[in-house]
């Protein structure tokens, strides 16, 4: 008879974790344990630094640390030691989300310390000279608040500013603004924005930045009710566009809209690249959902870095980081227009695991009013899988998934797209993620998918007529993720 304690040791060292093919090859994911929000995105001393909400102890959310990786080019990532671990009375229940700035050549983090069983949230600072080892300097903003977290700081016109996610006394989401001459002594500057009752009870992870002469406020509301096809996820990442100058009010010109239209995109953060692009990374996940990869000892993934621009109409345009193209190894190029007719569908390729597919549909030469790009076995209806379904009757693009083996029931998300001319789709698959960029920046949809090996065939199907694909290219994408130093 084995004693229980020995039995537990035997189990953990002897059982190989399942190999699912879900571990990403060009996205950041934890090597073990749990990941949620990206934090502290910054370029410092020749490296892009990405931190994340991290539970090293188990592949579920738990005591929050800051995981850490860096990259010279946003392509090749090196995992580094944990940057922040709960250690002080004020962060003993967790080092929650926050951001990074460069303060007198020092990499400086501002993050939320959680204590008193999660009921007290304060803002704390830590610094690093080398970008690897961090020293905590303690609390800099300490109100007695339960929902007061996720500071995002920036420098503007001779002063530091920070926006913090908060809640009003009658439980509506709010963004609080503070300013400081030195990053340590902060003065409240009032409320930057507040939810009307339909926009949620708490706003997490605010982000506030200027883009092409406008000011963009990103918030992550909890508690918005779904409305038709919109706000279908438990929580959303969305944005307002308006104008603002230090000392003034944020005058909203365009109301709240979702930033990503898939099942899994949350708590994104933006930062400046040295060449002046506004880049964004989000968590490819959603609270209170299944994370089947955790059977392998790790859970979570960050999105591809994305480039944000603002259209003349005030819509955020989202494109994949252009450097990603350098990872491409060509797998397939269809040299002439492909006509897909109703029937069984055209199977294009098998074993799509870590790939990019670019498709241009010529809708003027297409009679079909509904067609789909599928990742399935032979039939999405029968076998499940994932599909991007284009419906010209309602002018929407749907991203649908169905993985009954992992208790992920069939559901779709959608976005309105003008479907009169051409439609271009740039689809990234990496292990268990699918990110669909529509019409060069017009919309993006990100969802987690959980295909077993046999559910990785890429098919195109059409209903009630044919569809013309003018361009079809597939690449495999690879990069190396280096282990911890």
Just list the catalytic residues. 37
Please identify, using beta-carbon distances, which residue of 165 and 320 lies nearer to ligand FRU: 165
Q: What DSSP character marks residue 484?
A: P
Using CB atoms within 10 A of its CB, is residue 4 exposed (0-12), middle (13-18) or buried (19+)? Answer: exposed
Sign of CA dihedral 130, 134, 139, 141: positive
User: How does DSSP assign 221-282, residue by residue?
Assistant: EE-PPPBTTBS-SSB--EEEEEE--TTS--EEEEEEEES--SS--EEEEEEE-TTS-EEEEE
Please identify, using beta-carbon distances, which residue of 150 and 280 lies nearer to ligand FRU: 150
Residue 211's φ and ψ, nearest 5 degrees, are: -150, 120
Please identify, using beta-carbon distances, which residue of 65 and 402 lies nearer to ligand FRU: 65
Q: What is the closest distance, in whole angstroms, from the C-beta atom of residue 57 to ligand FRU in the complex?
A: 14
If you search the block for the tokens 């040791």, which residue do you land on?
9
Q: How far apart are CA 224 and CA 245, in angstroms?
A: 29
Using CB atoms within 10 A of its CB, is residue 182 exposed (0-12), middle (13-18) or buried (19+)? Answer: exposed
Please identify, using beta-carbon distances, which residue of 68 and 149 lies nearer to ligand FRU: 149
Please identify, using beta-carbon distances, which residue of 199 and 397 lies nearer to ligand FRU: 199
Q: What is the closest distance, in whole angstroms, from the C-beta atom of residue 171 to ligand FRU in the complex?
A: 16
Q: How far apart are CA 104 and CA 374, in angstroms?
A: 51
Contact assessment for residue 467 and residue 368, using Cβ atoms and an 8 Å cutoff: yes
Q: What is the closest distance, in whole angstroms, from the C-beta atom of residue 69 to ligand FRU in the complex?
A: 17
Q: What DSSP character marks residue 421?
A: S
Spell out a b/e string for 92-102, using b for 16 or more CB atoms within 10 Å of the CB, else e: ebbbbbbbbbe
Of 4, 3, 62, the closest CA to residue 30 belongs to 62
Q: What is the closest distance, in whole angstroms, from the C-beta atom of residue 301 to ligand FRU in the complex?
A: 14
The footprint of ligand FRU (CB under 6 A) covers 36-37, 53, 64, 96-97, 112, 149-150, 204-205, 266-267
Contact assessment for residue 281 and residue 269, using Cβ atoms and an 8 Å cutoff: yes
Please identify, using beta-carbon distances, which residue of 285 and 385 lies nearer to ligand FRU: 285
Q: What is the closest distance, in whole angstroms, from the C-beta atom of residue 55 to ligand FRU in the complex?
A: 9
Please identify, using beta-carbon distances, which residue of 63 and 416 lies nearer to ligand FRU: 63
Q: What is the closest distance, in whole angstroms, from the C-beta atom of residue 178 to ligand FRU in the complex?
A: 17
Q: What is the closest distance, in whole angstroms, from the C-beta atom of residue 258 to ligand FRU in the complex?
A: 16
Q: On the CB side of 483, how many CA atoms lie within 13 Å of its CA?
A: 1
Cβ partners under 8 Å of residue 91, min gap 6: 84, 111, 113, 114, 115, 124, 136
Closest residue by beta carbon to ligand FRU: 96
Q: What DSSP character marks residue 23?
A: S
Cross-strand pairs, 95: 113
Q: What is the closest distance, in whole angstroms, from the C-beta atom of residue 477 to ligand FRU in the complex?
A: 27
Please identify, using beta-carbon distances, which residue of 55 and 461 lies nearer to ligand FRU: 55
Q: On the CB side of 103, how many CA atoms lie within 13 Å of its CA?
A: 21
């Amino acid at each position: 008879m084995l004693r229980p304690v020995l039995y537990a040791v035997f189990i953990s060292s002897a059982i190989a974790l399942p190999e699912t093919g879900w571990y990403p090859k060009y996205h950041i994911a934890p090597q073990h344990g749990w990941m949620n929000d990206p934090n502290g995105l910054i370029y410092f001393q020749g490296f892009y630094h990405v931190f994340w909400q991290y539970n090293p102890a188990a592949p579920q959310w738990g005591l929050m640390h800051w995981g850490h990786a860096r990259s010279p080019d946003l392509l090749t990532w090196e995992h580094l030691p944990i940057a922040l671990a709960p250690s002080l009375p004020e962060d003993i229940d967790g080092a929650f989300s926050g951001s990074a700035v460069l303060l007198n050549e020092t990499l400086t983090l501002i993050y939320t310390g959680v204590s008193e069983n999660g009921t007290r949230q304060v803002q704390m600072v830590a610094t690093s000279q080398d970008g690897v080892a961090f020293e905590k300097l303690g609390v800099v903003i300490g109100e007695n608040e339960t929902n007061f977290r996720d500071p995002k700081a920036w420098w503007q016109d001779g002063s530091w500013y920070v926006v913090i996610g908060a809640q009003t006394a009658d439980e509506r989401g709010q963004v609080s603004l503070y300013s400081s001459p030195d990053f340590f002594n902060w003065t409240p500057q009032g409320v930057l924005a507040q939810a009307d009752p339909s926009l949620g009870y708490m706003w997490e992870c605010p982000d506030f930045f200027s883009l092409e002469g406008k000011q963009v406020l990103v918030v992550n509301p909890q508690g918005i009710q779904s409305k038709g096809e919109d706000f279908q996820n438990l929580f959303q990442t969305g944005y307002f566009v308006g104008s603002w100058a230090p000392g003034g009010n944020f005058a909203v010109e365009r109301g709240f809209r979702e930033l990503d239209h898939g099942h899994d995109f949350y708590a994104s953060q933006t930062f400046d690249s040295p060449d002046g692009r506004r880049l964004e990374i989000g968590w490819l996940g959603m609270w209170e959902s299944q994370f089947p990869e955790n059977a392998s000892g790790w859970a979570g993934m960050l999105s591809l870095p994305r480039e944000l621009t603002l259209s003349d109409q005030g819509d955020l345009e989202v494109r994949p980081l252009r450097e990603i193209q350098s990872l491409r190894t060509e797998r397939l190029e269809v040299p002439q227009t492909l006509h897909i007719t109703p029937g069984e569908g055209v199977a294009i390729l098998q074993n799509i695991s870590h790939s990019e597919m670019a498709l241009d549909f010529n809708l003027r030469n297409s009679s079909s009013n509904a067609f789909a790009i599928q990742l399935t076995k032979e039939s999405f209806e029968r076998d499940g899988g994932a599909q991007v379904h284009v419906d010209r009757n309602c002018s929407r693009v749907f991203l649908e998934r169905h993985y009954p083996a992992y208790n992920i029931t069939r559901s779709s998300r959608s976005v309105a797209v003008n479907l009169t001319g051409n439609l271009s789709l740039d689809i990234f698959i990496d292990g268990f993620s699918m990110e669909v960029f529509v019409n060069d920046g017009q919309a993006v949809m990100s969802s987690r998918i959980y295909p077993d090996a046999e559910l990785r065939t890429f098919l195109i199907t059409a209903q009630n007529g044919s569809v013309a694909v003018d361009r079809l290219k597939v690449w495999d994408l690879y990069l190396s993720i280096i282990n911890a130093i």
